[in-house]
Amino acid sequence: MLDPGINADRLRSRLERLAAVGADPDHGRQDPGRPHGVSRFPYSAAHAEAMRLVAAWMVEAGLEAGSDEFGDLVGLRAGEEGWPAIILASHLDTVPHGGIFDGALGVLAGVEAAQALREAGCRLRHPLAVIGFADEEGHAFNRGTLASRMLVGDVPREQFPAIKGYDGRTLAEVLAAFDPGLPRARCPALAGAYLELHVEQGPVLASSGRRVAAVTGITGMARTAVTLEGEANHAGTTPMAARKDALVAAAEVVLAVRAAADAAGPPAVGTVGRLTIGPGATNIVPGRAELTVEFRTPDGDLLTDLCARCEADIGRVAAERGLTSQVAPWDRKDPVPLDEGIRQAIAGAIVAAGCESFAMPSGAGHDAMILAPHVAAGMIFVASVGGISHSPREWTAWEDAALGAEVVLRTVLALDARGPLPARRLPLAYGD
Ligand code: HGY
Ligand code: MN
Ligand code: MN
C-alpha cells in the first residue's frame, strides 16, 4: 500500500470545471486569470448538472454515487460491517454571483481524499460518505442550511407544502419536480464523524499569515422576512406629510438593524441583504417594501435580544409612518460548539501537514452546525484571500485548497486508526 496523497492538479482542475457550471456571464470578472462569479441555485438545471459532474468524479474515486430525496449528492464506499461512517461534506449551491470555493471545495476535497485512498490501495475500516448538500445558502427559500435540516428532520416534511420560495413554488413542489438523473442514494444512518473543509470567508487567517485552521464552533444566527405596507400614491401631488412611504420606513429599519449590531459590538453583526419595493416607478410613492433581516452572534441570549429589539423597531417605525408591518417567524440557529476530539485530530493533521496548529470560531454558518448535535463534527478552514467571500472576488490560493484537502485526508486516516468511532444514529428524515 502506498502513502495516499492529494493530487493538487486534479483538485484544481475539478474546481475550475465545476466553477463553469452556473457561472455568471461576465459578472464579477476581476482578473482574466480568475473565473467569473457563480450563481448555482439549488434545484436548478445548473445544480443538477453539477451533481452529475461530481457524481462522475465520485465514481472515479471508487464511490457509489447518487442523489437523495432532498437533492443532496451522496457518494458512498463500504467499510467494515457495522462500523459507523466518516462523512465528508459541504454544499454544491452558491449565493448569487458567489465564489468558486464556497461549498465546492469541501465536496471536491472529499472526493479527492476518497480517490487518493483508492489509488493508494488504502481501504478505510469505517465506511466513507461524501455529501454535496443541495441548499446551504438559503437563497431559494430564505432558510439557510435547508437541505441538511431536511435530512435530519429539523425542517419537518409536513412543512414542505407551506414553505414558499421566491419563485412562487413550494418546497414540496420543487423537490417533487427536481430530478438530477442519478440513482437513488442515502446518507448513512450510522455515523462516527462529520468533517467539513471550507474557505474561511473572513480575514482572520489571511491577516495573520496563516493558511489553515481547525474550527472551534459556529456562530448563532437568526433570519426573518419583513413586509411593510404603506400606500402607493402620486409622487407629484401627495404632500410629504400625507405619505405612507414604505421605502422610507424600510430605510429606517435598515438603519435600526445597523444601530442594534453596532450597539452589541463585535462579533455581533446585522444585515439587510434583500430589499424589494413596489409598485416601483419614478413617479409613485412606494406603497410596499419587503426586506430580509439577519443577525449573527455566538451569544444565544444576545441573539434573542437583537431579534426582540428589531421587532420593536419595526413596530415603532410602522406606527410613526402610518404603515402596517408583518414580521415572519425568525428562522433561528443557535451557536454550536464543534467536537473537541475531532478538533484535536484536525490539529494533529495540520501539524503533520507542516503547518502551525491554529483554532478559530466561524462567523459563517455551515451544514456542520446542523449535523453537530447528532455526530461528532469538525471543520477545517483554509485562508480566503483578502477575507472576501459571497462575491466573485472570493479566492483561495490553489496550494491552500490542496493543503485543506491534505488535512482532510490526514484527519480521516487518524480517525480511522482510532478503531470503531463512537457510533451515533442520525435522525434521518427520509421517506419510506
Ligand atoms: O451565510 C453563511 O454564513 C454561509 O456562507 N451560508
Ligand atoms: Mn458555504
Ligand atoms: Mn456561503
Give alpha helix (H) positions in 136-290. Answer: 146-151, 171-177, 204-207, 246-264
The three-class DSSP label of residue 25 is coil
Give the span between the Cα atoms of 10 and 60, in whole angstroms.
12
Give the span between the Cα atoms of 199 and 395, in whole angstroms.
9
State the pLDDT at residue 32.
Answer: 59
Reported as type and span, the H/E element at residue 297 is strand 288-297
Grid coordinates given for 380: 477545517
Q: How far is the CA of 251 from the centre of ligand 3 (A)?
A: 26
Beta-carbon neighbours within 5 Å of ion ligand 3: 102
Give alpha helix (H) positions in 83-212. Answer: 104-119, 146-151, 171-177, 204-207
pTM score, two decimals?
0.95
Cis peptide before 279 (omega within 30 of 0): yes
Pocket test of ligand 1: the residue of 40, 92, 95 to mutate, having most ligand atoms within 8 Å of its CB, is 95
Residues with CB under 6 A from ligand 1: 136-137, 144, 364-365
Q: Which residues contact 8 (CB under 8 A, 6 or more apart)?
A: 398, 399, 401, 402, 405
pLDDT tens for the 432 residues of the chain, in order: 677 899 999 999 999 999 999 999 875 555 656 657 999 999 999 999 999 999 999 999 999 999 999 999 999 999 998 999 999 999 999 999 999 999 999 999 999 999 999 999 999 999 999 999 999 999 999 999 999 999 999 999 999 999 999 999 999 999 999 999 999 999 999 999 999 999 999 999 999 999 999 999 999 999 999 999 999 999 999 999 999 999 999 999 999 999 999 999 999 999 999 999 999 999 999 999 999 999 999 999 999 999 999 999 999 999 999 999 999 999 999 999 999 999 999 999 999 999 999 999 999 999 999 999 999 999 999 999 999 999 999 999 999 999 999 999 999 999 999 989 999 999 999 998
Q: Are 214 and 359 in contact (CB under 8 A)?
A: yes
Short-list 28, 70, 20, CA closest to 46: 20
Give the span between the Cα atoms of 432 and 421, in whole angstroms.
28
Give the span between the Cα atoms of 291 and 313, in whole angstroms.
14
Give the span between the Cα atoms of 185 and 62, in whole angstroms.
15
Q: Is 203 exposed, middle or buried (0-12, 13-18, 19+ CB in 10 A)?
A: middle
State the pLDDT at residue 30.
Answer: 58
Reported as type and span, the H/E element at residue 132 is strand 128-133
Residue 365 Cα: closest atom of ligand 1: 3
Instruction: Calculate the CA dihedral of residues 142, 144, 149, 151 and round it to 10 degrees.
Output: 90
Pocket test of ligand 1: the residue of 366, 369, 381 to mutate, having most ligand atoms within 8 Å of its CB, is 366
Pocket test of ligand 1: the residue of 91, 94, 137 to mutate, having most ligand atoms within 8 Å of its CB, is 137
Q: Is 271 exposed, middle or buried (0-12, 13-18, 19+ CB in 10 A)?
A: middle
Residue at 120: amino acid letter: A
Task: Report which protein residue has its CA nearest ligand 1's atom 6.
Answer: 137
State the pLDDT at residue 34.
Answer: 62
Short-list 8, 119, 9, CA closest to 404: 8
Q: By 3-state DSSP, what share of the chain in percent is helix, strand and coil, each rounded to 5?
A: 35, 25, 40
- Counting other chains too, the contacts that 77-82 makes at CB distance below 8 Å and 24 or more residues apart are 77/114, 77/124, 77/127, 77/128, 77/129, 78/127, 79/123, 79/124, 79/125, 79/126, 79/127, 79/128, 80/125, 80/126, 80/420, 82/190, 82/420
State the pLDDT at residue 187.
Answer: 98
Q: How far is the CA of 342 from the centre of ligand 3 (A)?
A: 23
Tell me the CB-side half-sphere exposure of residue 191, using CA atoms within 13 A: 26
Residue 221 Cα: closest atom of ligand 1: 3
Short-list 318, 213, 204, 188, CA closest to 266: 204
State the pLDDT at residue 4.
Answer: 85
